[in-house]
Amino acid sequence: MPRDTHLLVRSTLLIAAGIAVLLLVQTLADVGSIRGTLATAFSFNPDEARLLMTALNRSFNQLMAIILTAVAIAVPLTANTYSVKLLETFIDDRVNRAVLLAFVFGVCNNLWLHHVIGHGVVPRVQLAISLAMALLYPSLLVPYLYYVFRFLQPDTLLRRLSGELLAGVEAAAATPSRAAEVAENAPALVEHVGSIGIRSVDRMDRTTAVETVHTLRAIVERYRTEKRGLPPAWTEAGRHAFGGSAHDAEVWLEARVFAELRALLSAAVPKMHAAVAAIADDACAMGLAPDARGDEDVDELVVEYFNTFIRLAVSRKDVRSLFILFHRYRDYAAGINADRPERALEIAFYFQYYARAACDAGMPFAVETVAHDLAVLVRRAWESGAPNRGKLLERMLAFGREATPRPLAGVKKAEAILAAFFLLRGDGDQAARIAEGFRGLERGFVDRLRDDIVHVRRERYWEVTDRRVNLDYVPDDQRAKVEEFFAMVTEAERTVEAAPAEVGD
């Protein structure tokens, strides 16, 4: 039994039992004071029964009015706030239907009992049932209102929507004849989930917006466990939805989820970076999940949407969103590099492409961020011995030369830190390749770069950021190699400066 339903039943029974005990104690006291028996408290003639039923009818009507008023106000307001799907979900809930029908039965039973008593008859069974309802229904009032308010919380609606979708997927796997019907309804359920997130962003409800993103990810993860058992009709429905594209048809539900993430990101940039971070985290996680590795269609989907996310952040000129998105995109590229080195190299090109677009849009900081991300990608490729590590290094060095008209401090720092990594590994040739990019730079500019890196001793950034790291930080053993690298650069410059004099002599 679900937790909220269990709480409703348990609370109602406890309240009813407590009230019954108190009433019984009061009744026994009154019976003793008049020297009667307990049976006299439950014996009625027709006139007494008619008066009792009149009072019960009035009480039941008031209770029903309270519940219907609360439901009639709270449910439409919440549905208008988050999703109209809530109305259907509320009616389909078995607890809601049972409680509302119980109150309707109570009113009808009392009216009929009042009619029967009007003919001079006291039906004891029906009267006992009415008395039991008179005890149970008031006890139900508070627990049921709590159940309704819990039901109307957006996280409850998210669980029910995802549960309905996944239950349909399981039914389609078990009964292939239902696959087409479930596939037809699935996109609408995904859209309802996404709508809750979008409206939460509009209301600045960060908790619900982030929970919506996690719910979309959970749908994909649970769906993949059933995906292989789905019949051809499921994929055919996807092919119809995507105009016959075979690649999109294989991942059509994942594509629907990513489309909702994109709509949610459009609402969140630049007003809610917590949602942006959740989208970036979960998009990366969905692409790196064990059951997604090796799936070229999923990989293509993740890359396309990460590019779309970054383009949106560039067009909105939101530096912080770019900072978040590039970070997770880098993690995704590093995660697939062992299995798909060509794709990781392609992502490195996208880094360069969108960094240039960000610079053109007046956000040079994005270029410096991308330089550090590319450096991390190169370092991880070298540590794992990836076959594309040389090409990744070439891509980074080309990025440093071509990203901006003039050298940026952040880009050169990223190159220097990477060179120190190579020196620490004993790979002086790669460090020398990086040092060539420092040739001709102003001496004061180079000295400031060295000082900035060497004097950074704090690994975590001194302000709260989404990455929580200082991009210029290097470990102690690597810091000495930074000094060695800049000494190499200085020596190379002196050699170049001395060469014309030697020739003249």
DSSP 325-392: HHHHHHHHHHHHTTT-HHHHHHHHHHHHHHHHHHHHTT-HHHHHHHHHHHHHHHHHHHHHT-TTHHHH
The residues, ordered by sequence, that sit 6+ positions from 306 with a Cβ below 8 Å of its Cβ are: 283, 325, 328, 329, 332
Which of 430, 429, 449 is closest to 490 using CA atoms?
449
Apex 429 CA angle, 425 and 431, nearest 5: 70
Whole-number pLDDT of residue 502: 47
Whole-number pLDDT of residue 56: 81
d(CA 253, CA 479): 48
d(CA 274, CA 206): 7
Residue 167 burial (CB count, 10 A) = 11
d(CA 62, CA 175): 47
466 secondary structure, DSSP code: S
Half-sphere exposure of 237 (CA within 13 A, CB side): 20
- How many whole angstroms from its chain centre is CA 56? 49
> What are the b/e assignments for 447-467, b being 16+ CB within 10 Å?
eebbeebeebeeeeeeeeebe
Q: Contact 234/179 with Cβ under 8 angstroms?
A: yes
The first and second tokens of residue 263, run together, are 């709509």
Q: In Å, what is the CA distance from 133 to each residue of 43, 102, 123?
A: 18, 9, 16
Whole-number pLDDT of residue 505: 43
Q: Contact 241/251 with Cβ under 8 angstroms?
A: no
Apex 267 CA angle, 266 and 272, nearest 5: 110
Which of 233, 261, 265, 264 is closest to 249 using CA atoms?
233
Whole-number pLDDT of residue 169: 93
The first and second tokens of residue 497, run together, are 């400066």
> What are the b/e assignments for 222-233, b being 16+ CB within 10 Å?
bbbebbeebeeb
Q: Torsions phi, psi of 477, nearest 5?
A: -65, -25
d(CA 470, CA 203): 33
41 secondary structure, DSSP code: G
**Maximum C-alpha span of the chain:** 136
d(CA 276, CA 268): 6
Q: Contact 381/366 with Cβ under 8 angstroms?
A: no
Q: How far apart are the first and last CA of the chain?
A: 95
Which residues of the chain carry a pLDDT beneath 70?
Answer: 1, 31-44, 118-120, 241-247, 403-404, 496-505
d(CA 313, CA 307): 10
- How many whole angstroms from its chain centre is CA 420? 38
Whole-number pLDDT of residue 485: 93
Whole-number pLDDT of residue 496: 61
At 361 the three-state DSSP class reads coil
d(CA 302, CA 308): 10
Which of 96, 119, 64 is closest to 88 using CA atoms?
96
d(CA 449, CA 430): 19
DSSP 86-107: HHHHHHH-HHHHHHHHHHHHHH
Q: Contact 326/310 with Cβ under 8 angstroms?
A: yes
